[in-house]
A and B are shown apart, each in its own frame.
Chain A
Amino acid sequence: MDTRRLHRLAQIGMLSGMMVGLAACDSSSDNDNTTEMTRQYQVTITNLTAGQPMSPALVMTHSKDWQSFKLGEPASVGVENIAESGDVSVLMTAEAGNEAIYSQQAGAGILTPGSSELFEISTTATGTLSLSVLSMLVNTNDALAAVNGKDLSTLAVGDTTELYLMTYDTGTEANSETADTIPGPAASSGNGEGFNAARDDVRDAVHIHAGVVTADDGLATSTLLSQHRWDNPVASVSIHRIE
């Protein structure tokens, strides 16, 4: 389909509603459907784990060509901060001037197991639109629950889609599981360190998290117990487009 022609149609103000319909039905993911309208979404994140509180989530909308991290590559310091301490401010500040980022929103607080939080997202940015969600599983060294850029360009007004968060290991901190190195409540007996600039895991590259071993399963130095284990997915994200 000639997407450039569609742009021009949209730009001269013809039937912006038609654009939405076309975009929703166009299965080729390369369309760069520029519109002048506001896109608005309700995003509900639910923690699906047994015993892993999630740090306040960072929800971002952005161009589909941008990603906050890449599998197999070192994590940025911003992403490292989220994964090791739940602090989203470093990444938000680093990306504040980035034209590829349309919106950034941090959650109101810790998302406990079983609970949900609703985010209302609105952007007038044009072009492709992807969603990313980043949150730390706080009873870990550096486990990052994430949706790493899901293209929502074809989600039509009124439609809902559901995504799931996998858990990544940012590879930025050794998975010692000790009380001194984990910031979550499971480590209240120790120093509970969050961010540490040292990169001392098996390799400085993001990979799929192998899960925690825990003291219950033979890692004597671990402050974690059976209830801190998880399987993927660890959270769901329901996305409803309202405008």
Chain B
Amino acid sequence: MKKIIPALLLGSTLVTPAMAAEVDITIENITRGVYFTPLLVAAHPIGTQLFQLGEAASTELQAMAEGGDISGLETQLVSLGATIQANPAEGLLGPGSTTMTQLNTDAAPANTQLSMVAMMLPTNDGFVAINSLTIPTEAGEYSYYVKAYDAGTEANDEVRGSGAPGESGFPVPPPLEAKIGQNGTAFAASAEGFVHVHRGVLGDTDANAGNSDIDSTQHRWLNPVAKVTITVQ
């Protein structure tokens, strides 16, 4: 077996790693009935993160998680020199739907990390995220299964309400209007105070009453909630 080693070393020197200047990113919503609000996809330098598990969310992350507003995070990323694609799906990315985008870091080789976020509806402050993944540099196709997180900034009362940061309830954009219940009395809950893996929603089976405006047969999920494929040319 020892004889193999020189051959191996020779082999690896012959591999020319593609510099990850341009990558294609495919994002699939693999849930039963959860919608993603406009996605923010970015390549940025190492050492920065959009959130840290166990720590309080930034106000920018809170605005994304509670109302789908990615403008604050986008501003932050721009100031870091990030390469950004905002809202590649041009609106909601529905369950079973796929969107594609590209990041070209030719002009910014320090942007070696991938982050991606979007709010999940219907949730109070649930979001799907990739948090500073090192983008592969060798040519190939790489798939990642992605989890749902809770920003910890809003009580999971599971009823219609506001998408504004700090206000209770979740927003219901027009395409979801008929899918979401009403007159739920709301679960007694409080904001957890730190970002964590989302425990899921409960929902109920009564569209016009009950605790929740979420439908337990349609809007629950188990991880993973998204499949992200990075193609390095």
Contact = CB atoms under 8 A, between A and B. Distances in A.
B107 interface: no
Nearest to A6: B11
A1 B15 contact: yes
Given A30-B140, A71-B30, A219-B205, A25 B8 contact: yes
B58 interface: no
Contacts, number: 88
A53 to B, nearest CB: 19
Contacts of A21: 1, 4, 8
Interface in A202-222: 202-203, 205, 207-211, 213, 217-220
Interface in B183-208: 200, 202, 204-205
Contacts of A26: 11
A66 B7 CA distance: 31
A211 B222 contact: yes
A162 interface: no
Bin chain A's interface residue count.
Answer: 20 to 34
A29 to B, nearest CB: 6
Contacts of A220: 205
Is chain B's interface secondary structure helix, strand, loop, or mixed overall? loop
CB-CB nearest 7 A-B residue pairs:
A210-B32, A21-B4, A210-B220, A1-B11, A208-B30, A213-B216, A205-B96
28 contacts: A1-B11, A1-B14, A21-B8, A25-B4, A27-B138, A29-B140, A30-B140, A71-B30, A71-B227, A72-B30, A72-B96, A175-B217, A202-B95, A202-B218, A203-B96, A205-B96, A207-B95, A208-B30, A208-B223, A209-B32, A210-B222, A213-B220, A218-B204, A219-B205, A219-B216, A220-B205, A232-B223, A232-B224
Interface of A: 1-2, 17-18, 21-22, 25-30, 71-72, 166-167, 169, 175, 202-203, 205, 207-211, 213, 217-220, 230-232
Interface of B: 1, 3-4, 7-8, 11-12, 14-15, 28, 30-33, 95-98, 138, 140, 145, 200, 202, 204-205, 216-218, 220-225, 227
